[in-house]
C-alpha cells in the first residue's frame, strides 16, 4: 500500500531535483486520511453536541501514522516519513473542526429557530464557506499578515511530537516530560495549554492575553462587574478588530511596495499577492452570502435596499470574523470564534435585519474562522517539519499536499454531518452556543447594547493601536476577556514566569528545551481533553 513516502524517497535527490514530498492522494495516505477523517468528524460532532467543546485530534492522527510505521510490513514503511505523518494529522484535525464548528454548529441555529427548511441550504452555504476559509489561509500563510514565524502553538506542539517520535534522544525526553506535565495538570482541571502557549508566544501578546484572562475571572467576585452584561469584551474585540483590519490593509500596501527593497514575502505556488488573496476571498464570501440569502429564502423578507445592505454586511462580517479568529489563534492558540460571531450578530440586530436574515448571518459568520485557524496550525507543523523553509520548493509542495489532505478531511466532514445531523436534532442535541444566538435574535435590538458596544470599542481600538500589527495587544486582550476558562490566567502567568526565570537559573540554552517542553505540555492537555471528552460522551 504505497504512500509515496518511503524513508529513502524522502531524502533522495536526482540531478537538478530536490527531495520528493509524500503525495496526499497516494493510496496509503488516502486510505489513512479518509479513515482518520471519518473518526475525527464523528468525534467532533459528538463532543460538541454533548459537551459543547471540540477536541484537538491533530496528535491522534500523527500517533496513528507513527503506530502504523512500526508495523513490520513493507506496506506501512512509508508512514515512517514525518511528512506522511503530517498529512495524517492535517486531515483528522480538519475533519474534526470542520464537522463540528464550521458545519454542525451553524445548521443548529435554524433548527432551534423552527426553520427546518433552512437547514439544507444553510449546510450547503457553510460547507462552501468552510472550504474557502481553509483555502484563504493556505494562500495567506507566511505573508506579512500571517507569518510562519509566529507561534501557532498547536502546530508547534504537533511538530514537536512528530519530531520526538522520529528522532528520539534528548528531544523525546524533554517532550515526554512536557507531555506528562500537561497530562497531570489537565487531570487536576488546570488548562495546561495556556501554560504551554505562554512559554512560546510573544511576550507582550501573552501578557495582554493573561491580563484579559485574569480580569475575566475576577471581575465579578472582586469588583461586582458582569462583563458579559456590560458587553465589555465584545466591544473591545469590535474596536480592536476594526483597527486590526486597517492594520492588515496597511500591511497589504507595504507588501505591494516590497519588491523595491527585495523584502516581498513568499507564498504558495505562484507567490500570490496578499491583497489579491483578500480580494478573492471577499468575492467568494459575497457569492456565498447571495446563495445563502436566496437559498434559505431570507431574501424574500427584505426590501431590495435592505437586501443589498445585508449582503455587503454579511460578507464583511464573515471576512472580518475569519481574520480576527486567525490573528487570535496565531498568537495564543485559542480562537474565540463563538464570541466573535456573536459580536457580528449583535451588530446585525442593531442594524435592524429581520430574524430570517439574522439566522443566516449568525450561521455564515460562525462557519468562517475555525477552518482558517486550524489550517494555520497544520501548516505551522508542516513548516517546522520541513526545515522552516530551508528548501522553498519543497516547502511549497508540502503546503500543497497539506491543502489536499485538509480538503479530503473537509469533504468527509460534509458527508458525516449530512448523514448524522438529523439523529442529533431528533434527540434535541445542538451546539450549546446556538441557544445563545437564537436568544439574542429573539430579544431584538437594544439601545443599551449599542451604547455599551460603542463605549468599550474605544479602549479596544486604543490598545490595538498601541501594540501595533505585530503584537496584536488589543485582539489578545479581548480574547482573554472573552474566555471564561477557570485558572487560565494564572497558567499564562506561570508560563511567563518560567520563561523569564529559567534562562537565568539554568542558562540561555534552556530556551530551546522550553519550546519542546511547551509543545509537550500543549499536547498532553489536548490528549487528556480528548480522552476525557470521549469517556464522558460514552457514558
| Apex 105 CA angle, 85 and 36, nearest 5 | 20
C-alpha span between 374 and 492 (Å, rounded): 22
| Per-residue pLDDT, 165 | 85
C-alpha span between 361 and 8 (Å, rounded): 51
Question: How many other C-beta atoms can be found within 10 angstroms of the C-beta atom of residue 399?
Answer: 25
Q: Which residue has the cell 520528493?
A: 20
How far lies 333's CA from each of 92, 197, 201, 285, 286, in Å?
Answer: 18, 7, 9, 25, 28
Regarding pTM above 0.75, the answer is yes
C-alpha span between 252 and 512 (Å, rounded): 33
C-alpha span between 479 and 237 (Å, rounded): 7
C-alpha span between 10 and 68 (Å, rounded): 17
Closest CA to 29 of 393, 416, 404: 404
| Per-residue pLDDT, 103 | 97
The answer to whether 121 touches 109, Cβ cutoff 8 Å, is no
| Per-residue pLDDT, 62 | 85
Torsion of CA 217, 223, 228, 231, to 10 degrees: -120
DSSP string, 305-329: HHHHHHHHHHHHHHHHHHHHHHHHH
Tell me the H-state helices in 101-259.
105-112, 119-140, 153-167, 169-187, 192-200, 203-223, 227-230, 232-257
Torsion of CA 359, 360, 363, 365, to 10 degrees: -120
Q: Which residue has the cell 495549554?
A: 193
Per-residue pLDDT of the chain (539 residues; tens, 9 = 90+): 556 654 433 444 444 466 789 999 999 999 999 999 999 999 999 999 988 888 888 888 888 888 888 888 777 888 889 999 999 999 999 999 999 999 999 999 999 999 999 999 999 999 999 999 999 999 999 988 899 999 999 999 999 989 988 887 788 899 999 999 999 999 999 999 999 999 988 899 999 999 999 999 999 999 999 999 999 999 999 999 999 989 988 877 776 665 544 444 444 433 447 888 889 999 999 999 999 999 999 999 999 999 999 999 999 999 999 999 999 999 988 878 888 999 999 999 999 999 999 999 999 999 999 999 999 999 999 999 999 999 999 999 999 999 999 999 999 999 999 999 999 999 999 999 999 999 999 989 999 999 999 999 999 999 999 999 888 999 999 999 998 888 999 999 999 999 999 999 988 888 888 989 999 999 899 889 888 888 887 76
Question: How many other C-beta atoms can be found within 10 angstroms of the C-beta atom of residue 193?
Answer: 29
Q: What is the rounded end-to-end Cα distance, in angstroms, of the chain?
A: 37
The answer to whether 93 touches 78, Cβ cutoff 8 Å, is no
Residue 483, φ and ψ in degrees, nearest 5: -95, 130
| Per-residue pLDDT, 269 | 38
C-alpha span between 342 and 244 (Å, rounded): 18
Q: Which residue has the cell 540561555?
A: 508
C-alpha span between 39 and 532 (Å, rounded): 16
The answer to whether 118 touches 297, Cβ cutoff 8 Å, is yes
| Per-residue pLDDT, 298 | 96
DSSP string, 268-286: STT---HHHHHHHHHHHHH
Using CB atoms within 10 A of its CB, is residue 241 exposed (0-12), middle (13-18) or buried (19+)?
buried
| Per-residue pLDDT, 55 | 82
Non-local CB neighbours of 246 within 8 Å, separated by 6+ positions = none
| Per-residue pLDDT, 257 | 65
Q: Which residue has the cell 512500526?
A: 70
| Per-residue pLDDT, 271 | 41
Amino acid at each position: 500500500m504505497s504512500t509515496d513516502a518511503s524513508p529513502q524517497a524522502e531524502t533522495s535527490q536526482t540531478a537538478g531535483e530536490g527531495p520528493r514530498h509524500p503525495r496526499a492522494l497516494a493510496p496509503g495516505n488516502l486510505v489513512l486520511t479518509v479513515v482518520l477523517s471519518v473518526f475525527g468528524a464523528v468525534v467532533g460532532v459528538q463532543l460538541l453536541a454533548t459537551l459543547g467543546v471540540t477536541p484537538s485530534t491533530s496528535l491522534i492522527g500523527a500517533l496513528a501514522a507513527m503506530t502504523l510505521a512500526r508495523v513490520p510490513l513493507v506496506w506501512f514503511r512509508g508512514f515512517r516519513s514525518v511528512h506522511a505523518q503530517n498529512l495524517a494529522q492535517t486531515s483528522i484535525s480538519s475533519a474534526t473542526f470542520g464537522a463540528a464548528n464550521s458545519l454542525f454548529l451553524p445548521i443548529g441555529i435554524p433548527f432551534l429557530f423552527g426553520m427546518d427548511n433552512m437547514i439544507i441550504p444553510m449546510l450547503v452555504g457553510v460547507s462552501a464557506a468552510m472550504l474557502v476559509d481553509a483555502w484563504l489561509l493556505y494562500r495567506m500563510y507566511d505573508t506579512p499578515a500571517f507569518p510562519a514565524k509566529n507561534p501557532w502553538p498547536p502546530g508547534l506542539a504537533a511538530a514537536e511530537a512528530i519530531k520526538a517520535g522520529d528522532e528520539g534522544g534528548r528531544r523525546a525526553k524533554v517532550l515526554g516530560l512536557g507531555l506528562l506535565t500537561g497530562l497531570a495538570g489537565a487531570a487536576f482541571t488546570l488548562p495546561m495549554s495556556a501554560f504551554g502557549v505562554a512559554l512560546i508566544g510573544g511576550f507582550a501578546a501573552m501578557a495582554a492575553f493573561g491580563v484579559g484572562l485574569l480580569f475575566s475571572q475576577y471581575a465579578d467576585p472582586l469588583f461586582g462587574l458582569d462583563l458579559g452584561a456590560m458587553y465589555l469584551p465584545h466591544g473591545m474585540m469590535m474596536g480592536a478588530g476594526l483597527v486590526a483590519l486597517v492594520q492588515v490593509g496597511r500591511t497589504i500596501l507595504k507588501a505591494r511596495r516590497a519588491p523595491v527593497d527585495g523584502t516581498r514575502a513568499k507564498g504558495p505556488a505562484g507567490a500570490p499577492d496578499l491583497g489579491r488573496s483578500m480580494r478573492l476571498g471577499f468575492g467568494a464570501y459575497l457569492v456565498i452570502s447571495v446563495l445563502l440569502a436566496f437559498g434559505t429564502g431570507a431574501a424574500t423578507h427584505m426590501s431590495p435596499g435592505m437586501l443589498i445592505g445585508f449582503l455587503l454586511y454579511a460578507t464583511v462580517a464573515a471576512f472580518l470574523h475569519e481574520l480576527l479568529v486567525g490573528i487570535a489563534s496565531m498568537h495564543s492558540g485559542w480562537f474565540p470564534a463563538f464570541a466573535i460571531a456573536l459580536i457580528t450578530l449583535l451588530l446585525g440586530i442593531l442594524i435592524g435585519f429581520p430574524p430570517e436574515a439574522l439566522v443566516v448571518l449568525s450561521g455564515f459568520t460562525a462557519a468562517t474562522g475555525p477552518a482558517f485557524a486550524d489550517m494555520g496550525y497544520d501548516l505551522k507543523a508542516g513548516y517546522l517539519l520541513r526545515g522552516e523553509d530551508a528548501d522553498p520548493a519543497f516547502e511549497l509542495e508540502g503546503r500543497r499536499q497539506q491543502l489536499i489532505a485538509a480538503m479530503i478531511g473537509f469533504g468527509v466532514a460534509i458527508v458525516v454531518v449530512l448523514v448524522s445531523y438529523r439523529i442529533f436534532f431528533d434527540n434535541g442535541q445542538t451546539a450549546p452556543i446556538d441557544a445563545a444566538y437564537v436568544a439574542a435574535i429573539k430579544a431584538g435590538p437594544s439601545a443599551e447594547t449599542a451604547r455599551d458596544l460603542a463605549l468599550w470599542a474605544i479602549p479596544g481600538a486604543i490598545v490595538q493601536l498601541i501594540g501595533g500589527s505585530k503584537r496584536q495587544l488589543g485582539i489578545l486582550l479581548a480574547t482573554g476577556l472573552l474566555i471564561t476558562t477557570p485558572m487560565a490566567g494564572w497558567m499564562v502567568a506561570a508560563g511567563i514566569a518560567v520563561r523569564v526565570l529559567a534562562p537565568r537559573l539554568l542558562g540561555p540554552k534552556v530556551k530551546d528545551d522550553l519550546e519542546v517542553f511547551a509543545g509537550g505540555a500543549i499536547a498532553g492537555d489536548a490528549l487528556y481533553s480528548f480522552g476525557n471528552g470521549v469517556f464522558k460522551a460514552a457514558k
